[in-house]
Amino acid sequence: MPMSEYRSRNQPHTPRSLLAAILLTVTALVHGQGLDLGLPDIGDPSGSLFTPAQEQRLGQAFMRSVHKSMKVEKDPLLTAYIQSLGSRLIQSSPHVTGSFHFFLVDDPQINAFAGPAGNIGTYTGLIATTETESELASVLAHEIAHVTQNHLARTFDSVNRLNMPTAAMILAAVVVGAATNNPEAGLFVAQGAQAAQIQHQINFTRSNEQEADSVGIAILSGADFDPSAMAVFFDRMGKATRLYRSGKLPEFLSTHPVTTDRIADAFGRAEDHPYRQRPESLEYHLVKAILKLRQIENPRQAVDYFASSLREKRYRNREAQQYGHALALIEERRYAEARPVLEALLGARPEQIHYIVAHARLLALDGEGAAGIEQLRRAMRLYPGNYPLTLYLADALLEAGAAGEALALLEQQLPVYPGETQMHARLARAAGETGDKALGHQYLAEYHYYSGDLEPAIQQLEIALRDRQLPYHQSARLTARLKQFKQEREELKSREQK
């Protein structure tokens, strides 16, 4: 596992470019690709303006925009955790239907947002700020409620008497939680829309927030989390407002305005549900240990932090703190010291994937790559199809020169994770290293496409199609895909010119 997957790269947050990209996507989908979203009279604004197929396409385009403009988390362990937590909330709520995709944005900001087709993003900074897993689950439940209550469709209906460009701009803003009380941000998002229209939309969003609180608390309780966690988190965020009077509010406080009435209402709604004091999962604490390590730029300082916190018993979970200490020792290349720590953790929990992955990485770095691969293979037999293990085993095989085995492993799992950029990146490398250059270019094209980069995706398919040895069926499939990519490019260019 590359060290970079434990440590965040210093890349500035670009909310404005994200809004521009999403605005472009929404407008293109509204006017292009044969999607008739002509603002029909749908009666009940809680009904959906989109057919399932249309919403799915909008969701895919939304995620490509997110990948292009934001730093979507790449660490498979972190990605798997947030998806698992979100799935637990969904599966415990019989009234929640439809598909959901939970993902992380590698950014220290405290925020979360819900997009079309059940795409829910959470910033790593929000996880680091929560004090309990119930608090984190409460934010996810809140965003799930935005989806189940059709707030995007309601938003579109609430502006359906505006001209289409203005409606699309406001919808794009709400999708990423950017309709705030910040006048500068509001002017950017609106780009000329009348102030009254913006204020109307902000007020409409506030009513959505109240409804999402109520539904979210019910979802939270149904999954056996503490129903008061949402109110507790809001209360703590509200108190933090005093610290930001002279500066910019955290994004969470802008996109989820916290008032005394809202906090009181959340506490009141929590009382309607049975109280549960549920211990956090070990995975929650392990994820927080990884994020804490990222916050400390110097590996030696990270080792000192975890060592001193263990000595002084300054931790919420000792086992997770030991795990963080082991990771810090690995980054400091103190392998001999990290080994007994990880072996003790594995001895107590041999099935824990975090420990298996860290130990396999340690073995590889310490000259025992074959042993690390075998450990990952055993884990795959225990957890067939596991997403993090699939990617880490593929990485280990590629490093060992076993590209053919890595390719077979990844292609077996691709149907389960068809839009995962990290899966396609590894497939491209594996195919190229086996000598199948055309297939490598094909997978690289898909990587660029799902990353939101149409131009390099088109270029890679064009390169693949130059292969004279390409079988007819593969050539036909790539030609159709290339036609789709070029059509999307032309539609986006058309939107830019307007």
8 Å CB contact between 180 and 255: yes
Q: Which amino acid is at 268?
A: G
165 Cβ neighbours under 8 A, 6+ residues apart: 27
Q: Is the dihedral of CA 139, 141, 147, 152 positive or negative?
A: negative
Q: Which two tokens stand for residue 22?
A: 């999403």
Q: Which of 198, 69, 221 is nearest to 145 (CA)?
A: 221
304 annotated active-site: no
8 Å CB contact between 449 and 418: no
Which of these is catalytic: 106, 135, 143, 319?
A: 143
Could you give the CA distance from residue 31 to residue 306 in angstroms, rounded to a whole number?
54
Q: Is the dihedral of CA 422, 423, 429, 432 positive or negative?
A: negative
Could you give the CA distance from residue 256 to residue 282 in angstroms, rounded to a whole number?
28
Q: Which amino acid is at 459?
A: Q
Phi, psi dihedral angles at 119 (to 5 degrees): -85, 115
Q: Which helix (H) or strand (E) holds 113?
A: strand 112-114
Q: Is 211 annotated as a binding residue?
A: no
DSSP readout, 239-295? HHGGGGTTSPPPHHHHHS---HHHHHHHHHHHTTS----PPPPHHHHHHHHHHHHHH
Could you give the CA distance from residue 201 to residue 161 in angstroms, rounded to a whole number?
13
Q: Is 359 annotated as a binding residue?
A: no
36 annotated active-site: no
Which of these is catalytic: 213, 319, 395, 405?
A: 213
Q: Is 209 annotated as a binding residue?
A: yes
Could you give the CA distance from residue 36 to residue 472 in angstroms, rounded to a whole number?
35
Could you give the CA distance from residue 351 to residue 344 in angstroms, rounded to a whole number?
13
Could you give the CA distance from residue 269 to residue 274 in angstroms, rounded to a whole number?
11
Q: Which helix (H) or strand (E) holds 101?
A: strand 101-105
Report CA-CA distances (Å) from 97 to 79, 93, 103, 221, 223: 22, 9, 19, 17, 15
Could you give the CA distance from residue 397 to residue 269 in angstroms, rounded to a whole number?
52
Pairing of strands 119-123, 101-105: parallel
Report CA-CA distances (Å) from 490 to 22, 448, 454, 494, 498: 16, 17, 11, 6, 13
CB atoms within 10 A of CB 261: 9
Could you give the CA distance from residue 318 to residue 210 in angstroms, rounded to a whole number?
38
CB burial of 353-364 (b: ≥16 within 10 Å; e: otherwise) equals bbbbbbbbbbbb
Binding region = 142, 146, 209
Binding region for Zn(2+) = 142, 146, 209
Catalytic positions, written as ranges: 143, 213
